[in-house]
């Protein structure tokens, strides 16, 4: 099994999941040029990470990939204990991060994709920061009295963690989000996270 990732991107969350499984896998760390190269475009014409290759199976899309990893390494408990209820809780919070939180950053990373006039870019980014802050308040409320989003460690947690790092880098106000800050500190200290960062050249 091989993961294609870009340092600090959403694929870094998948990389942490793989470290948490304790299973064997290869990783290829891509830069912007490698993501445009024909060899990578042959795997994913969209040119985005993550991509997971398992034998002749090429899989894209975060949600599909982490579900596949959870099923391939059930002992890791990334989707819970095998009960429908825990699977649903893990999927609920994965969906929150993948379809609400992650897309909310897009205007911060590329305001020009939303409005052409550069004079408007700061306003677009300010609105995005406000939306991200609101979503992180939801995560903070969920983490109050819990260590992990779903109530147990799941594939939703590394993805949330990566978005918290993005929020720090893009000037989102994180003040007062104490449960989220404690979650980030736990993840910062996690051995799997640290091994991931080292492998991606982020340590």
Ligand X SMILES: N[C@@H](CCC(=O)N[C@@H](CS)C(=O)NCC(=O)O)C(=O)O
Judged by CB under 6 A, the residue of 1, 3, 9, 187 near ligand X is 9
Instruction: Give the residue with the Cβ less far from ligand X, 61 or 86.
Output: 61
Residue 72 phi/psi, 5-degree rounding, is: -75, -30
Residues 15, 189: Cα–Cα separation, whole Å: 16
- Nearest CA among 68, 69, 96, 74 for reference residue 156: 96
Q: Which of residues 97 and 150 has its CB atom nearest to ligand X in the complex?
A: 97
Please give the residue whose beta carbon sits closest to ligand X in the complex. 48
Instruction: Supply the minimum distance, in Å, between the C-beta of residue 106 and ligand X.
Output: 8
The stretch among 2-10, 71-79, 110-118, 180-188 that binds ligand X (CB under 6 A) is: 2-10
- Mapped onto helix, strand or coil, the DSSP state of residue 62 is helix
Minimum distance of ligand X from residue 10's CB (angstroms)? 3
| Contacting ligand X within 24-63 (CB under 6 A) | 35, 48-50, 61-62
Q: How far is the CB of 175 from ligand X (least distance, A)?
A: 25
Shortest distance in whole angstroms from residue 144 CB to ligand X: 27
Nearest partner of 149 among 118, 117, 176, 186, judged by Cα: 186
**CA proximity to 143, closest of 103, 100, 178, 99:** 178
User: 182 or 202, CB closer to ligand X?
Assistant: 202
Residue 146 CA neighbour count, 13 Å, CB half: 13
Residues 95-134, one symbol each (x = binds ligand X by CB under 6 A, - = not), give ---x------------------------------------
Among 3-11, 72-80, 153-161, 174-182, the segment contacting ligand X (CB under 6 A): 3-11
Asked if 60 and 48 touch (Cβ cutoff 8 Å), the reply is: yes
Question: In this structure, are residues 91 and 44 in contact, taking their beta carbons and an 8 Å threshold?
Answer: no
Q: Does residue 196 interact with ligand X by CB under 6 A?
A: no
1, 3, 10, 193: which one binds ligand X (CB under 6 A): 10
CA distances from 138 to 71, 132, 141, 160, 163 (A): 28, 10, 5, 12, 13
Residues 6+ apart with CB under 8 A from 109: 170
Interface with ligand X (CB under 6 A), residue total: 10
For binding to ligand X (CB under 6 A), which residues are involved? 6, 9-10, 35, 48-50, 61-62, 98
């Amino acid at each position: 099994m091989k993961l294609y990732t870009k340092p600090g991107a959403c694929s870094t969350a998948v990389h942490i999941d793989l470290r948490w499984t304790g299973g064997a896998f290869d990783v290829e760390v891509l830069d912007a040029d490698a993501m445009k190269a024909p060899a990578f475009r042959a795997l994913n014409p969209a040119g985005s990470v993550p991509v997971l290759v398992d034998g002749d199976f090429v899989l894209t899309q975060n949600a599909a990939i982490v579900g596949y990893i959870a099923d391939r390494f059930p002992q890791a408990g990334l989707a819970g204990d095998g009960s429908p209820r825990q699977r649903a809780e893990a999927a609920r919070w994965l969906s929150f991060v993948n379809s609400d939180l992650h897309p909310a950053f897009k205007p911060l990373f590329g305001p020009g994709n939303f409005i052409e006039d550069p004079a408007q870019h700061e306003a677009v980014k300010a609105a995005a920061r406000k939306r991200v802050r609101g979503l992180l308040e939801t995560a903070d409320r969920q983490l109050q009295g819990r260590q992990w989003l779903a109530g147990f460690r799941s594939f939703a947690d590394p993805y949330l963690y990566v978005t918290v790092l993005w929020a720090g880098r893009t000037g989102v106000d994180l003040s007062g989000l104490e449960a989220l800050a404690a979650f980030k500190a736990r993840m910062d200290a996690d051995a799997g996270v640290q091994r991931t960062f080292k492998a991606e050249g982020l340590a």
